[in-house]
Structure 1
């Protein structure tokens, strides 16, 4: 479903970027920025307050006046900041530590249950930290705080981000508390000879 640019504002953009877990809105663009597509046009005016977690939770107005000429050539495009969604905490460098992920604006941990070098390789690549040296679990990485956003990560090793790996994503308090995943990456060392 496409959204008409005539009724899309900053609050709506904030909700869409948040829902996609892509940071804050940078720029609202017209349809010319992306493929117009041939999807159906949303015919109601979206009136987000900006704090909703998903766009379908925003109030809408059924008074869509004829002054808004809304067709696919008027659909909205949006550029978000593409927020960093993974970080390493408590290590000796920026390329070592407990793995934390950002989900819906809150940092949380990754369960160490089933965590291995394949999963660690994806995190090292995402952070531009070279190759994995070790995949850490509970004791080495230390306990995390906040929700457990990912448990039982199932990366194949080819993913560009941890969020693209298969996993169970919910708060598994019983099994995972105190078993946070961590990594030690080689870092991107460059030698000039």
Structure 2
């Protein structure tokens, strides 16, 4: 609104310069683009990201399977770490040697992280591919939506920043032109303008 008032103010002002009007129009165009183009870009980027992530999640759900792993041996905990972040991650899991059968019937054994109270003979769920190799849990709908929303917000913010950057560049060029015009006007006025003995 302030930009529209500024543009209206310069409409019939006798002191206006072309650079003043161009600067006001640049601000108005930038405001319109930020209000319209940034949300549209964010929505488009979020929609594309959501579609791609949903396809990835469907592929992962089709290729990954939940199987039961049996704890064969509880492994000793590593030495205590003074870093609270790694210590809390260590406390949330217990290292165990476990065995499992893949969806294709193949037998596997390996070191896994189980819940803190896991004991030998206990079973827990893990994700594997068709050959029984360990895989991470497939993406769920909440994760894909969150990532898509973040992508949309990032794209919208980047668009707004780009528009504002172009506006600032245009204003910088206009100000430089204005200063050049002032220098030219002062040169035309002459070095002795305003002196008492210059007959001015």
TM-score, L = length of structure 1:
0.18
Return the structure number with greater helix share: 2
Bigger relative contact order, structure 1 or 2 (CA pairs below 8 A, ≥6 apart): 2
TM-score, L = length of structure 2:
0.17
- Structure with higher Rg: it is 2
